[in-house]
Amino acid sequence: MKNNYKKYLVLLLSVGLFSCSKDLLDTVPNDRLSENVFWKTQSDAEVAVNSLYRDLDGTNIFAWDAFTDLAHVNQPFAVDAFIELGTYDATSSKIYSEWSNAYTGIAAANYFLDNVGKITTVTDSTTFKRYKAEARFLRAYQYVKLASLYGDVPLVTSSLSIDDARQLKREPVATIYDFIDAELSDIVNTLPLSYSGNNVGRITRGAALALKARADLYAGRYEAAATTAKAVIDLNVYKLYPTYGKLFSYAAENNSEVILDKQFITSTYSNGVFNLLAPYSQKSSQSTYVPTKAAVDQYQTAQGVNITDPSSGYDPDNPYANRDPRLGFSVFLDGDTLPDGSIFHPAPNSGTPDAVGNTYIASTTGFNIKKYVNKEDYANPSNNGINIILLRYAEVLLTYAEAKIEANTIDQSVYDAINAVRNTRSDVILPSVSNNLTRDQLRAAVRQERTIELAFEGLHLQDIRRWKTAATVVPGPVYGITYKDNSGATKVVQVAVNRLFDASKHYLWPVPQTERDQNGNLTQNAGW
Protein backbone atom coordinates (compact mmCIF):
# COMPACT_ATOMS: atom_id res chain seq x y z
CA MET A 1 0.00 0.00 0.00
CA LYS A 2 2.90 2.40 0.58
CA ASN A 3 3.88 2.02 -3.07
CA ASN A 4 0.24 2.35 -4.08
CA TYR A 5 0.23 5.89 -2.68
CA LYS A 6 3.00 6.65 -5.15
CA LYS A 7 0.99 4.94 -7.88
CA TYR A 8 -2.02 7.10 -7.09
CA LEU A 9 0.03 10.29 -7.41
CA VAL A 10 1.57 9.15 -10.70
CA LEU A 11 -1.84 8.35 -12.17
CA LEU A 12 -3.20 11.69 -11.02
CA LEU A 13 -0.34 13.46 -12.76
CA SER A 14 -0.82 11.35 -15.89
CA VAL A 15 -4.47 12.34 -16.16
CA GLY A 16 -3.51 15.98 -15.73
CA LEU A 17 -0.94 15.77 -18.55
CA PHE A 18 -3.41 13.96 -20.78
CA SER A 19 -6.01 16.63 -20.26
CA CYS A 20 -3.53 19.39 -21.22
CA SER A 21 -2.97 17.84 -24.64
CA LYS A 22 -6.64 18.02 -25.64
CA ASP A 23 -8.18 20.79 -27.69
CA LEU A 24 -8.29 23.91 -25.50
CA LEU A 25 -11.94 24.38 -26.47
CA ASP A 26 -12.77 20.97 -24.95
CA THR A 27 -10.63 20.99 -21.84
CA VAL A 28 -10.68 18.63 -18.90
CA PRO A 29 -9.72 19.98 -15.43
CA ASN A 30 -6.02 19.37 -14.90
CA ASP A 31 -6.13 19.51 -11.10
CA ARG A 32 -8.35 16.48 -10.56
CA LEU A 33 -9.53 13.24 -12.13
CA SER A 34 -12.37 13.97 -14.56
CA GLU A 35 -15.34 11.68 -15.19
CA ASN A 36 -14.79 12.31 -18.89
CA VAL A 37 -11.65 10.19 -18.77
CA PHE A 38 -12.29 8.09 -15.68
CA TRP A 39 -14.42 5.07 -14.71
CA LYS A 40 -13.36 3.24 -17.87
CA THR A 41 -11.03 0.44 -16.81
CA GLN A 42 -10.27 -1.76 -13.83
CA SER A 43 -7.15 0.27 -13.17
CA ASP A 44 -9.42 3.27 -12.63
CA ALA A 45 -11.23 1.30 -9.93
CA GLU A 46 -7.89 0.47 -8.31
CA VAL A 47 -6.66 4.07 -8.16
CA ALA A 48 -10.06 5.22 -6.88
CA VAL A 49 -10.24 2.67 -4.07
CA ASN A 50 -6.62 3.41 -3.15
CA SER A 51 -7.57 7.03 -2.55
CA LEU A 52 -10.21 5.98 0.01
CA TYR A 53 -7.52 4.76 2.40
CA ARG A 54 -6.46 8.37 2.99
CA ASP A 55 -9.63 8.89 5.04
CA LEU A 56 -8.66 6.32 7.66
CA ASP A 57 -7.71 7.74 11.04
CA GLY A 58 -4.08 8.61 11.56
CA THR A 59 -2.41 10.70 14.24
CA ASN A 60 -5.79 12.13 15.28
CA ILE A 61 -6.33 8.99 17.39
CA PHE A 62 -3.88 10.26 20.02
CA ALA A 63 -6.20 13.09 21.00
CA TRP A 64 -8.93 10.67 22.07
CA ASP A 65 -6.96 9.26 25.00
CA ALA A 66 -6.32 12.84 26.16
CA PHE A 67 -10.06 13.12 26.82
CA THR A 68 -9.73 10.30 29.35
CA ASP A 69 -7.81 9.61 32.55
CA LEU A 70 -4.84 8.26 30.56
CA ALA A 71 -3.49 11.44 29.00
CA HIS A 72 -3.58 15.21 29.08
CA VAL A 73 -3.72 17.92 26.40
CA ASN A 74 -0.43 19.64 27.13
CA GLN A 75 -1.12 23.16 25.85
CA PRO A 76 -4.04 24.75 27.72
CA PHE A 77 -4.99 27.02 24.83
CA ALA A 78 -5.46 24.13 22.35
CA VAL A 79 -8.98 23.40 21.14
CA ASP A 80 -8.66 19.84 22.45
CA ALA A 81 -7.99 21.17 25.96
CA PHE A 82 -11.57 22.40 26.29
CA ILE A 83 -12.87 18.91 25.55
CA GLU A 84 -10.54 17.44 28.16
CA LEU A 85 -11.73 19.98 30.70
CA GLY A 86 -15.39 19.39 29.89
CA THR A 87 -15.99 23.04 29.00
CA TYR A 88 -16.65 22.55 25.29
CA ASP A 89 -19.91 22.82 23.39
CA ALA A 90 -21.36 22.05 19.95
CA THR A 91 -19.30 24.82 18.33
CA SER A 92 -15.99 23.04 19.06
CA SER A 93 -13.87 22.75 15.93
CA LYS A 94 -12.58 19.36 17.14
CA ILE A 95 -16.12 18.02 17.47
CA TYR A 96 -16.87 19.29 13.99
CA SER A 97 -13.65 18.03 12.38
CA GLU A 98 -14.13 14.43 13.55
CA TRP A 99 -17.72 14.46 12.25
CA SER A 100 -16.72 16.15 8.99
CA ASN A 101 -13.73 13.90 8.35
CA ALA A 102 -15.83 10.78 8.91
CA TYR A 103 -18.53 11.93 6.50
CA THR A 104 -15.88 12.95 3.98
CA GLY A 105 -14.69 9.35 4.04
CA ILE A 106 -18.25 8.08 3.75
CA ALA A 107 -18.99 10.41 0.83
CA ALA A 108 -15.84 9.26 -0.97
CA ALA A 109 -16.76 5.60 -0.47
CA ASN A 110 -20.33 6.24 -1.63
CA TYR A 111 -19.07 8.05 -4.71
CA PHE A 112 -16.83 5.10 -5.52
CA LEU A 113 -19.65 2.58 -5.08
CA ASP A 114 -22.07 4.69 -7.11
CA ASN A 115 -19.69 4.95 -10.05
CA VAL A 116 -17.56 1.83 -10.13
CA GLY A 117 -20.36 -0.02 -11.95
CA LYS A 118 -19.76 2.20 -14.99
CA ILE A 119 -16.55 0.31 -15.67
CA THR A 120 -17.07 -2.22 -18.43
CA THR A 121 -13.49 -3.33 -18.98
CA VAL A 122 -12.95 -5.76 -16.12
CA THR A 123 -9.88 -7.94 -16.43
CA ASP A 124 -10.16 -9.76 -13.09
CA SER A 125 -13.67 -10.09 -11.66
CA THR A 126 -12.44 -11.40 -8.29
CA THR A 127 -10.20 -8.38 -7.74
CA PHE A 128 -12.89 -6.04 -9.03
CA LYS A 129 -15.35 -7.38 -6.42
CA ARG A 130 -12.67 -6.99 -3.77
CA TYR A 131 -12.34 -3.29 -4.55
CA LYS A 132 -16.04 -2.85 -3.79
CA ALA A 133 -15.64 -4.78 -0.54
CA GLU A 134 -12.73 -2.57 0.48
CA ALA A 135 -14.84 0.54 -0.08
CA ARG A 136 -17.70 -0.89 1.96
CA PHE A 137 -15.32 -1.71 4.81
CA LEU A 138 -13.85 1.78 4.80
CA ARG A 139 -17.36 3.24 4.94
CA ALA A 140 -18.29 0.94 7.82
CA TYR A 141 -15.11 1.96 9.66
CA GLN A 142 -16.28 5.57 9.65
CA TYR A 143 -19.71 4.60 10.96
CA VAL A 144 -18.19 2.70 13.89
CA LYS A 145 -16.39 5.89 14.88
CA LEU A 146 -19.44 8.09 14.41
CA ALA A 147 -21.72 5.78 16.40
CA SER A 148 -19.28 5.55 19.31
CA LEU A 149 -18.66 9.31 19.47
CA TYR A 150 -22.08 10.79 18.65
CA GLY A 151 -24.67 8.02 19.04
CA ASP A 152 -27.51 8.58 16.56
CA VAL A 153 -26.16 9.87 13.23
CA PRO A 154 -27.40 10.17 9.63
CA LEU A 155 -26.99 6.97 7.64
CA VAL A 156 -25.86 7.87 4.14
CA THR A 157 -25.26 5.07 1.65
CA SER A 158 -25.21 6.92 -1.68
CA SER A 159 -24.06 10.25 -3.06
CA LEU A 160 -26.31 13.17 -2.17
CA SER A 161 -27.12 16.53 -3.66
CA ILE A 162 -26.80 19.57 -1.40
CA ASP A 163 -30.57 19.76 -1.10
CA ASP A 164 -30.81 16.07 -0.18
CA ALA A 165 -28.08 16.47 2.42
CA ARG A 166 -30.05 19.24 4.08
CA GLN A 167 -32.98 16.88 4.59
CA LEU A 168 -31.06 14.17 6.41
CA LYS A 169 -32.20 12.95 9.80
CA ARG A 170 -30.34 11.04 12.48
CA GLU A 171 -30.90 7.31 12.62
CA PRO A 172 -30.95 5.43 15.95
CA VAL A 173 -27.51 4.19 16.90
CA ALA A 174 -28.85 0.61 16.88
CA THR A 175 -29.71 1.08 13.20
CA ILE A 176 -26.16 2.25 12.52
CA TYR A 177 -24.75 -0.83 14.21
CA ASP A 178 -27.20 -3.02 12.26
CA PHE A 179 -25.86 -1.49 9.05
CA ILE A 180 -22.25 -2.05 10.11
CA ASP A 181 -22.98 -5.68 10.98
CA ALA A 182 -24.74 -6.33 7.69
CA GLU A 183 -22.05 -4.65 5.60
CA LEU A 184 -19.12 -6.41 7.20
CA SER A 185 -20.87 -9.78 7.23
CA ASP A 186 -21.66 -9.44 3.53
CA ILE A 187 -18.13 -8.60 2.41
CA VAL A 188 -16.07 -10.84 4.65
CA ASN A 189 -15.78 -13.77 2.25
CA THR A 190 -14.95 -11.47 -0.67
CA LEU A 191 -11.78 -10.36 1.06
CA PRO A 192 -8.56 -12.42 1.10
CA LEU A 193 -6.82 -13.63 4.21
CA SER A 194 -3.62 -11.78 3.35
CA TYR A 195 -1.74 -9.92 0.64
CA SER A 196 1.79 -9.79 -0.68
CA GLY A 197 4.00 -7.22 -2.33
CA ASN A 198 2.55 -3.77 -2.90
CA ASN A 199 -0.88 -4.88 -1.73
CA VAL A 200 0.18 -5.42 1.88
CA GLY A 201 -1.91 -3.02 3.96
CA ARG A 202 -5.18 -3.54 2.13
CA ILE A 203 -8.35 -4.63 3.88
CA THR A 204 -8.35 -8.34 4.69
CA ARG A 205 -10.96 -10.81 5.84
CA GLY A 206 -9.48 -10.57 9.33
CA ALA A 207 -9.88 -6.78 9.30
CA ALA A 208 -13.57 -7.06 8.43
CA LEU A 209 -14.12 -9.57 11.24
CA ALA A 210 -12.05 -7.60 13.75
CA LEU A 211 -13.92 -4.36 12.99
CA LYS A 212 -17.23 -6.19 13.32
CA ALA A 213 -16.13 -7.61 16.69
CA ARG A 214 -15.22 -4.09 17.85
CA ALA A 215 -18.55 -2.70 16.68
CA ASP A 216 -20.49 -5.51 18.37
CA LEU A 217 -18.60 -4.90 21.61
CA TYR A 218 -19.32 -1.17 21.46
CA ALA A 219 -22.98 -1.93 20.76
CA GLY A 220 -23.23 -4.27 23.74
CA ARG A 221 -23.91 -7.26 21.48
CA TYR A 222 -21.65 -9.47 23.50
CA GLU A 223 -22.47 -12.89 22.12
CA ALA A 224 -21.96 -11.60 18.57
CA ALA A 225 -18.71 -9.88 19.59
CA ALA A 226 -17.36 -13.09 21.15
CA THR A 227 -18.36 -15.17 18.14
CA THR A 228 -16.76 -12.77 15.66
CA ALA A 229 -13.58 -12.32 17.69
CA LYS A 230 -13.30 -16.12 17.87
CA ALA A 231 -13.64 -16.21 14.09
CA VAL A 232 -10.58 -13.95 13.83
CA ILE A 233 -8.66 -16.21 16.20
CA ASP A 234 -9.68 -19.27 14.22
CA LEU A 235 -8.31 -17.82 10.99
CA ASN A 236 -4.87 -18.75 12.34
CA VAL A 237 -3.43 -15.79 10.48
CA TYR A 238 -2.55 -13.51 13.38
CA LYS A 239 -0.36 -13.87 16.44
CA LEU A 240 1.09 -11.50 19.00
CA TYR A 241 4.32 -9.85 17.96
CA PRO A 242 7.09 -11.40 20.07
CA THR A 243 8.36 -8.11 21.55
CA TYR A 244 6.02 -5.40 22.78
CA GLY A 245 8.89 -2.96 23.00
CA LYS A 246 9.39 -3.07 19.21
CA LEU A 247 5.74 -3.31 18.19
CA PHE A 248 5.49 0.36 17.17
CA SER A 249 8.83 0.52 15.38
CA TYR A 250 9.73 0.57 11.70
CA ALA A 251 11.25 -2.90 12.05
CA ALA A 252 7.88 -4.30 13.09
CA GLU A 253 5.74 -2.78 10.35
CA ASN A 254 3.23 -5.18 8.76
CA ASN A 255 3.94 -7.82 11.40
CA SER A 256 1.70 -10.74 12.30
CA GLU A 257 -0.19 -8.79 14.98
CA VAL A 258 -1.28 -5.94 12.72
CA ILE A 259 -4.76 -6.43 11.32
CA LEU A 260 -5.28 -2.92 9.98
CA ASP A 261 -3.04 0.12 9.92
CA LYS A 262 -2.85 3.39 8.06
CA GLN A 263 0.20 3.18 5.87
CA PHE A 264 2.57 6.12 5.52
CA ILE A 265 5.73 6.72 3.55
CA THR A 266 8.35 9.37 4.23
CA SER A 267 8.29 12.38 1.88
CA THR A 268 5.40 10.95 -0.13
CA TYR A 269 2.55 10.42 2.31
CA SER A 270 3.98 11.15 5.73
CA ASN A 271 2.84 11.93 9.25
CA GLY A 272 4.39 13.98 12.05
CA VAL A 273 3.90 11.64 15.00
CA PHE A 274 7.43 12.19 16.33
CA ASN A 275 6.94 15.95 16.47
CA LEU A 276 3.48 15.45 17.95
CA LEU A 277 4.45 13.20 20.87
CA ALA A 278 8.18 13.32 21.58
CA PRO A 279 9.70 15.27 24.49
CA TYR A 280 10.50 18.92 23.89
CA SER A 281 14.27 18.29 23.94
CA GLN A 282 13.93 16.24 20.77
CA LYS A 283 14.14 18.92 18.08
CA SER A 284 11.59 21.09 19.96
CA SER A 285 8.91 18.43 19.59
CA GLN A 286 5.49 19.39 20.88
CA SER A 287 4.51 16.93 23.64
CA THR A 288 0.97 17.59 22.41
CA TYR A 289 -0.62 14.77 24.42
CA VAL A 290 1.16 13.46 27.52
CA PRO A 291 0.50 10.55 29.90
CA THR A 292 -0.85 11.11 33.40
CA LYS A 293 0.02 9.60 36.76
CA ALA A 294 -3.40 7.91 36.63
CA ALA A 295 -2.26 6.05 33.52
CA VAL A 296 1.12 5.09 34.97
CA ASP A 297 -0.45 3.88 38.21
CA GLN A 298 -2.58 1.35 36.33
CA TYR A 299 0.50 -0.70 35.44
CA GLN A 300 1.03 -3.49 37.93
CA THR A 301 4.30 -4.59 39.46
CA ALA A 302 6.28 -7.30 37.72
CA GLN A 303 4.64 -9.74 40.14
CA GLY A 304 1.25 -8.94 38.60
CA VAL A 305 -0.08 -7.05 41.61
CA ASN A 306 -1.66 -3.57 41.61
CA ILE A 307 0.60 -0.96 43.20
CA THR A 308 -2.15 -0.10 45.72
CA ASP A 309 -1.88 -3.60 47.18
CA PRO A 310 0.34 -3.61 50.32
CA SER A 311 1.86 -6.89 49.14
CA SER A 312 2.85 -5.54 45.71
CA GLY A 313 6.40 -4.52 46.63
CA TYR A 314 5.81 -1.09 45.07
CA ASP A 315 8.37 1.48 46.23
CA PRO A 316 7.04 5.08 46.19
CA ASP A 317 10.60 6.36 46.30
CA ASN A 318 11.46 4.37 43.18
CA PRO A 319 8.05 4.28 41.52
CA TYR A 320 8.98 3.00 38.05
CA ALA A 321 11.16 0.07 39.11
CA ASN A 322 9.89 -3.51 39.09
CA ARG A 323 6.82 -2.69 37.05
CA ASP A 324 4.91 -4.26 34.15
CA PRO A 325 7.45 -3.86 31.28
CA ARG A 326 4.77 -2.30 29.08
CA LEU A 327 5.03 0.85 31.19
CA GLY A 328 8.60 1.50 30.06
CA PHE A 329 7.73 0.57 26.47
CA SER A 330 4.76 2.96 26.37
CA VAL A 331 5.91 5.97 28.40
CA PHE A 332 9.16 7.94 28.58
CA LEU A 333 10.25 7.71 32.23
CA ASP A 334 12.99 9.47 34.16
CA GLY A 335 16.35 8.00 33.15
CA ASP A 336 15.25 6.75 29.74
CA THR A 337 17.52 7.21 26.74
CA LEU A 338 15.94 9.55 24.21
CA PRO A 339 16.18 9.25 20.40
CA ASP A 340 19.08 11.71 20.28
CA GLY A 341 21.02 9.68 22.88
CA SER A 342 20.49 12.09 25.77
CA ILE A 343 18.82 11.07 29.04
CA PHE A 344 15.27 12.06 29.91
CA HIS A 345 15.11 13.99 33.18
CA PRO A 346 11.74 15.76 33.51
CA ALA A 347 11.80 16.73 37.21
CA PRO A 348 11.13 20.47 37.70
CA ASN A 349 14.54 20.88 39.36
CA SER A 350 16.48 18.88 36.75
CA GLY A 351 17.62 21.88 34.72
CA THR A 352 17.00 20.04 31.43
CA PRO A 353 14.92 21.18 28.44
CA ASP A 354 12.32 18.57 29.45
CA ALA A 355 11.97 19.84 33.02
CA VAL A 356 8.37 20.46 34.00
CA GLY A 357 7.87 24.22 33.79
CA ASN A 358 10.93 24.88 31.63
CA THR A 359 8.66 25.88 28.75
CA TYR A 360 4.95 25.61 28.08
CA ILE A 361 5.76 22.99 25.43
CA ALA A 362 7.61 20.59 27.73
CA SER A 363 5.36 17.93 29.23
CA THR A 364 3.40 19.38 32.13
CA THR A 365 3.10 15.92 33.71
CA GLY A 366 6.74 14.93 33.26
CA PHE A 367 5.72 11.93 31.15
CA ASN A 368 5.78 11.55 27.35
CA ILE A 369 4.23 8.94 25.10
CA LYS A 370 6.88 6.56 23.77
CA LYS A 371 4.79 4.52 21.33
CA TYR A 372 5.58 5.52 17.71
CA VAL A 373 8.51 7.77 18.75
CA ASN A 374 11.41 6.25 16.78
CA LYS A 375 14.99 7.44 16.58
CA GLU A 376 14.85 7.08 12.78
CA ASP A 377 12.57 10.14 12.74
CA TYR A 378 14.76 12.37 14.90
CA ALA A 379 16.42 14.00 11.88
CA ASN A 380 13.08 15.09 10.42
CA PRO A 381 10.43 14.98 13.16
CA SER A 382 7.53 16.10 10.95
CA ASN A 383 8.25 13.79 8.02
CA ASN A 384 7.66 10.28 9.37
CA GLY A 385 6.75 7.11 7.52
CA ILE A 386 5.74 4.94 10.46
CA ASN A 387 2.38 3.20 10.03
CA ILE A 388 -0.35 3.94 12.58
CA ILE A 389 -1.99 0.72 13.82
CA LEU A 390 -5.81 0.82 13.94
CA LEU A 391 -6.63 -2.84 14.64
CA ARG A 392 -4.33 -5.43 16.16
CA TYR A 393 -4.63 -8.97 17.40
CA ALA A 394 -4.21 -8.13 21.10
CA GLU A 395 -7.40 -6.07 20.92
CA VAL A 396 -9.23 -9.03 19.38
CA LEU A 397 -8.12 -11.34 22.19
CA LEU A 398 -9.28 -8.86 24.83
CA THR A 399 -12.54 -8.22 22.97
CA TYR A 400 -13.17 -11.96 22.99
CA ALA A 401 -12.46 -12.21 26.72
CA GLU A 402 -14.56 -9.18 27.66
CA ALA A 403 -17.48 -10.21 25.49
CA LYS A 404 -17.52 -13.70 27.00
CA ILE A 405 -17.46 -12.23 30.50
CA GLU A 406 -20.32 -9.84 29.75
CA ALA A 407 -22.32 -12.60 28.08
CA ASN A 408 -21.65 -14.73 31.19
CA THR A 409 -20.22 -17.58 29.14
CA ILE A 410 -16.93 -17.70 31.01
CA ASP A 411 -14.70 -20.69 30.34
CA GLN A 412 -11.00 -21.45 30.14
CA SER A 413 -10.72 -19.69 26.79
CA VAL A 414 -11.37 -16.37 28.54
CA TYR A 415 -8.38 -16.86 30.83
CA ASP A 416 -6.29 -18.09 27.91
CA ALA A 417 -7.02 -14.94 25.90
CA ILE A 418 -6.16 -12.57 28.75
CA ASN A 419 -3.04 -14.50 29.72
CA ALA A 420 -1.81 -14.61 26.13
CA VAL A 421 -1.59 -10.82 26.24
CA ARG A 422 0.06 -10.88 29.68
CA ASN A 423 2.78 -13.44 29.15
CA THR A 424 3.24 -14.60 25.55
CA ARG A 425 5.79 -11.98 24.47
CA SER A 426 9.46 -12.44 25.34
CA ASP A 427 9.66 -9.01 26.95
CA VAL A 428 6.32 -9.08 28.81
CA ILE A 429 6.02 -12.04 31.13
CA LEU A 430 3.48 -11.34 33.86
CA PRO A 431 1.80 -13.93 36.07
CA SER A 432 -1.41 -15.36 34.67
CA VAL A 433 -4.68 -14.12 36.14
CA SER A 434 -6.11 -16.49 38.70
CA ASN A 435 -8.72 -19.02 37.61
CA ASN A 436 -10.56 -18.40 40.86
CA LEU A 437 -11.78 -14.88 40.11
CA THR A 438 -15.44 -13.96 40.42
CA ARG A 439 -17.18 -12.55 37.37
CA ASP A 440 -16.82 -9.00 38.74
CA GLN A 441 -13.13 -9.56 39.47
CA LEU A 442 -12.58 -10.99 36.01
CA ARG A 443 -14.41 -8.04 34.48
CA ALA A 444 -12.10 -5.66 36.36
CA ALA A 445 -9.06 -7.67 35.26
CA VAL A 446 -9.89 -7.58 31.55
CA ARG A 447 -10.70 -3.86 31.69
CA GLN A 448 -7.37 -3.13 33.33
CA GLU A 449 -5.57 -5.33 30.82
CA ARG A 450 -7.27 -3.57 27.92
CA THR A 451 -6.40 -0.17 29.38
CA ILE A 452 -2.71 -1.04 29.78
CA GLU A 453 -2.18 -3.04 26.60
CA LEU A 454 -3.91 -0.52 24.33
CA ALA A 455 -2.91 2.68 26.12
CA PHE A 456 -2.37 5.73 23.88
CA GLU A 457 -3.85 3.96 20.84
CA GLY A 458 -7.13 5.88 20.80
CA LEU A 459 -9.49 3.24 22.21
CA HIS A 460 -9.84 4.21 25.87
CA LEU A 461 -12.36 7.01 25.28
CA GLN A 462 -14.85 4.59 23.77
CA ASP A 463 -14.10 2.09 26.53
CA ILE A 464 -14.81 4.36 29.51
CA ARG A 465 -17.94 5.60 27.80
CA ARG A 466 -19.42 2.15 27.27
CA TRP A 467 -18.26 1.00 30.72
CA LYS A 468 -19.94 4.12 32.14
CA THR A 469 -16.83 4.79 34.24
CA ALA A 470 -15.89 8.15 32.69
CA ALA A 471 -17.82 10.09 35.33
CA THR A 472 -15.63 8.44 37.96
CA VAL A 473 -12.16 8.43 36.35
CA VAL A 474 -12.13 11.70 34.39
CA PRO A 475 -13.07 14.51 36.84
CA GLY A 476 -10.58 16.21 39.11
CA PRO A 477 -6.95 17.32 39.04
CA VAL A 478 -4.34 15.90 36.69
CA TYR A 479 -1.17 14.60 38.33
CA GLY A 480 2.22 13.75 36.88
CA ILE A 481 5.62 12.45 37.96
CA THR A 482 6.83 11.76 41.46
CA TYR A 483 10.22 13.38 42.16
CA LYS A 484 12.41 14.67 44.97
CA ASP A 485 12.77 18.40 45.40
CA ASN A 486 16.03 20.12 46.40
CA SER A 487 15.38 19.36 50.07
CA GLY A 488 14.95 15.66 49.36
CA ALA A 489 11.20 15.72 49.98
CA THR A 490 9.05 13.54 47.68
CA LYS A 491 6.71 15.62 45.52
CA VAL A 492 4.06 14.85 42.92
CA VAL A 493 3.57 17.20 39.98
CA GLN A 494 0.07 18.62 39.78
CA VAL A 495 -1.05 20.22 36.53
CA ALA A 496 -3.00 23.46 36.87
CA VAL A 497 -6.24 22.06 35.47
CA ASN A 498 -9.36 20.56 36.96
CA ARG A 499 -11.35 18.30 34.67
CA LEU A 500 -15.13 18.23 34.64
CA PHE A 501 -17.38 15.46 33.37
CA ASP A 502 -21.14 15.94 33.25
CA ALA A 503 -22.69 12.46 33.13
CA SER A 504 -25.94 13.95 31.83
CA LYS A 505 -24.34 14.84 28.50
CA HIS A 506 -20.63 14.03 28.19
CA TYR A 507 -21.04 10.34 27.39
CA LEU A 508 -21.75 11.52 23.84
CA TRP A 509 -20.36 14.41 21.87
CA PRO A 510 -22.87 16.95 20.58
CA VAL A 511 -23.92 17.08 16.96
CA PRO A 512 -21.79 19.94 15.56
CA GLN A 513 -23.64 23.23 15.55
CA THR A 514 -22.42 23.97 12.03
CA GLU A 515 -24.26 20.88 10.78
CA ARG A 516 -27.46 21.80 12.61
CA ASP A 517 -27.31 25.35 11.25
CA GLN A 518 -27.38 23.91 7.74
CA ASN A 519 -29.93 21.18 8.43
CA GLY A 520 -32.76 21.86 10.87
CA ASN A 521 -33.74 18.19 10.77
CA LEU A 522 -30.71 17.20 12.83
CA THR A 523 -31.68 16.84 16.47
CA GLN A 524 -29.24 17.34 19.33
CA ASN A 525 -27.99 14.90 21.95
CA ALA A 526 -29.44 15.20 25.44
CA GLY A 527 -27.99 17.97 27.59
CA TRP A 528 -26.47 19.94 24.74
Helix/strand/coil (H/E/C) assignment for every residue in 47-86:
HHHHHHHHHCCCCCHHHHHCCCCCEEECCCCCHHHHHHHC
8 A C-beta contact, residue 42 and residue 3: no
pLDDT on residue 330: 98
8 A C-beta contact, residue 245 and residue 427: yes
pLDDT at 8 over 80: no
469-495 pLDDT tens trace? 999 999 999 999 999 999 999 999 999
Is residue 145 assigned to a domain? no
Q: What is the distance between the alpha carbons of residues 150 and 173, in angstroms, rounded to a whole number?
A: 9
User: Among 469, 433, 434, 435, which Cα is nearest to 451's?
Assistant: 469
Is residue 24 assigned to a domain? yes
pLDDT on residue 38: 94
Can you give the residue range of the structural domain that contains 32? 1-38
The number of folded domains in the chain is 1
User: Among 163, 180, 172, 242, which Cα is nearest to 425's?
Assistant: 242
Per-residue confidence band for 4, with pLDDT thresholds at 50, 70 and 90: low
pLDDT on residue 27: 54
pLDDT at 5 over 60: no
pLDDT on residue 36: 76
26-75 pLDDT tens trace? 555 566 656 778 999 999 999 999 999 999 999 999 999 999 999 999 99
In percent, how much of the chain has pLDDT > 90? Answer: 93
| Position 193, amino acid | L
pLDDT at 7 over 60: no
Identify the three-state secondary structure at position 243. coil
Is residue 277 assigned to a domain? no
Is residue 8 assigned to a domain? yes
Across 134-148, average pLDDT = 98
Q: What is the distance between the alpha carbons of residues 460 and 477, in angstroms, rounded to a whole number?
A: 19
pLDDT on residue 382: 98
Identify the three-state secondary structure at position 100. helix
pLDDT on residue 19: 36
pLDDT on residue 14: 37
311-346 pLDDT tens trace? 999 999 999 999 999 999 999 999 999 999 999 999
Going by their DSSP bridges, the two strands 331-332 and 490-499 should be labelled as unpaired
Is residue 250 assigned to a domain? no
Which residues 6+ apart lie within 8 Å of 430 measured at CB?
Answer: 300, 302, 304, 324, 422, 423
pLDDT on residue 28: 55
- Is residue 289 packed enough to be buried (19+ CB in 10 Å), middle (13-18) or exposed (0-12)? buried
How high is the mean pLDDT of the chain?
A: 94
Per-residue confidence band for 230, with pLDDT thresholds at 50, 70 and 90: very high
- Is residue 112 packed enough to be buried (19+ CB in 10 Å), middle (13-18) or exposed (0-12)? buried
Per-residue confidence band for 18, with pLDDT thresholds at 50, 70 and 90: very low
pLDDT on residue 37: 86
pLDDT at 13 over 50: no
Q: Which of 31-35, 112-116, 153-157, 479-483 has the lowest mean pLDDT?
A: 31-35
8 A C-beta contact, residue 382 and residue 272: yes
Going by their DSSP bridges, the two strands 331-332 and 289-291 should be labelled as unpaired
- Is residue 392 packed enough to be buried (19+ CB in 10 Å), middle (13-18) or exposed (0-12)? buried
Is residue 286 assigned to a domain? no
Q: What is the distance between the alpha carbons of residues 237 and 257, in angstroms, rounded to a whole number?
A: 9
189-206 pLDDT tens trace? 999 999 999 999 999 999
Is residue 466 assigned to a domain? no
Across 520-527, average pLDDT = 97
8 A C-beta contact, residue 126 and residue 192: no
Across 75-79, average pLDDT = 95
pLDDT on residue 9: 42
pLDDT on residue 302: 96
Is residue 44 assigned to a domain? no
8 A C-beta contact, residue 193 and residue 204: yes
Q: How far is CA 444 from the centre of its chain?
A: 23
Q: What is the distance between the alpha carbons of residues 17 and 54, in angstroms, rounded to a whole number?
A: 23
Going by their DSSP bridges, the two strands 490-499 and 476-484 should be labelled as antiparallel
Across 158-187, average pLDDT = 97
Helix (H) or strand (E) holding 245: none
407-454 pLDDT tens trace? 999 999 999 999 999 999 999 999 999 999 999 999 999 999 999 999
